[in-house]
Amino acid sequence: MKALILSAGLGKRLRPLTDIIPKPLADINGKPIIDIIVEKLKNIGVDEFAFNLHHLPEKIREHFSNSSEKMIFSYEDELLDTGGTLASFSDWLNEDEFLIVHNGDIYSDIDIKFLLNKALEKNAPTLALIPNGPVGNVKFFPKTEKIVDFRNSLGIDDSKYINCTFSGIAVYPANFIKEMPKGKYSVIDYMIEKLKEKKDIFGVLFENIYWNDIGTHEALEACRKFDLRKGVK
């Protein structure tokens, strides 16, 4: 099983910390968040990892220099955004594989194994969603488990849909990624186009879980006060 950890962000809101290290190396109680993510993925059977790099790329390469895991690193001279990054890894995937994609700044106890199994069942892109998140820009229909809109792009307004936030964790079939064009663009924009073509995008709504990102100093401190195994300290 393969996973891509998105690790190229500039981390501007975490300066001056990110003047020294890339955001995924930020420490949460003695362990960089990227190690927490890798360990979580290893525990569900991931044995090959990919990382896209841009800001201070040598720091992440050095961090994993003694790792026994299969890892590849792809440097982006210009940030490709999420869609362009996914497309750049298409040749790494076999036709029948699924790829777990995890933002490198997400700290959560989302059940990724459950998400993976749902993607295998649906054989389609499947996103981990959270309720009442900071954005709330995903419209989700629980009865069909389908995502019906992103960013209100399709003008869907119906009380039977739930407004959710994309968690930054998803599973994509290889054949979906292999159809993506090379370039610089958001995977959300690409999925909006797929919805317009009546293609299925599924979601799993995770409630009663912990989710945060470390995009700000305040969020990083909040994560440091929460043990994913035990709850708030």
The mean of the pLDDT values for the chain is: 92
Strand ranges for the chain from DSSP E: 2-6, 27-28, 31-32, 48-53, 70-75, 98-103, 106-108, 126-131, 138-141, 146-150, 162-173, 202-205, 211-213, 226-227, 231-232
Residue pLDDT, tens place only, 16-67: 877 888 999 999 988 999 999 999 999 999 999 999 999 988 999 999 998 8
- Peptide bond between residue 16 and the one before it cis (omega within 30 degrees of 0): yes
Residue pLDDT, tens place only, 89-137: 999 999 999 999 999 999 999 999 999 999 999 999 999 999 976 667 8
Domains of the chain and any CATH numbers: 2-232 (3.90.550.10)
Mean pLDDT value across residues 79-98: 96
Give the confidence band of 232 by pLDDT, cuts at 50, 70, 90. very low
- Identity of residue 74: S
The per-residue pLDDT for 228 is 75
The per-residue pLDDT for 87 is 97
CA distances from 92 to 11, 19, 50 (A): 27, 31, 9
197, pLDDT greater than 90: yes
| pTM for this model (two decimals) | 0.93
CB contact at 8 A, 127 and 202: yes
Residue pLDDT, tens place only, 132-148: 766 678 999 999 999 99
Bin 111: left if φ > 0, else alpha if -120 < ψ < 50, else beta.
Answer: beta
